[in-house]
Homo-oligomer: A and B are copies of this chain.
Amino acid sequence: TVCGNGYDVHRFAPGTKVWLCGVPIAHDQGLEGHSDADVALHALTDAVLGTIGAGDIGAHFPPSDPQWRGASSDRFLAHAAGLVDGLGARIVHVDVTLICERPKIGPHRPAMRARIGEILGLPMDRVSVKATTTEGLGFTGRGEGIAAQATASVWLPG
């Protein structure tokens, strides 16, 4: 197996919910972005693309392209997974870390893992979602936005 990594950041903006790991979470702010701004699925999509050297999410879904405005990010992740499948490769495990002071991630972890597992066709024990804060430091600590990092483990044929 090989390991890909992903990282993404989105900025808070006025709103009433954030999408994280394909799950809508009621919040006193939203996240800014052309798609649904699901920073976790974006980082994970990049991690999956990284395992097969298939560029990054911006190459496949340019933010400047109006067709992705408000798009649900699960299609980005599903697209990356399809590219893996097309090579006869197989995603065996994914791990996402959300970096923010708020919202609380723990209560949503089961729904998030289930949703990612559903998109990728992975059992829930092969899908990990974690969260951490930066203890008030940096842009996540100041509540300016949310960062996410991800790893994907993919078995490659040959």
Contacts and interface: CB of A to CB of B under 8 A. Distances in A.
Interface in A111-153: 113, 124-128, 130-139, 141, 144-145, 147, 149-151, 153
B130 A56 contact: yes
Contacts of A72: none
A contacts with B: majority SS: mixed
Interface residues of A, number: 58
A99 interface: yes
A128 B4 contact: yes
Contacts of A42: 132
A62 to B, nearest CB: 9
Interface in A44-63: 46, 49-59
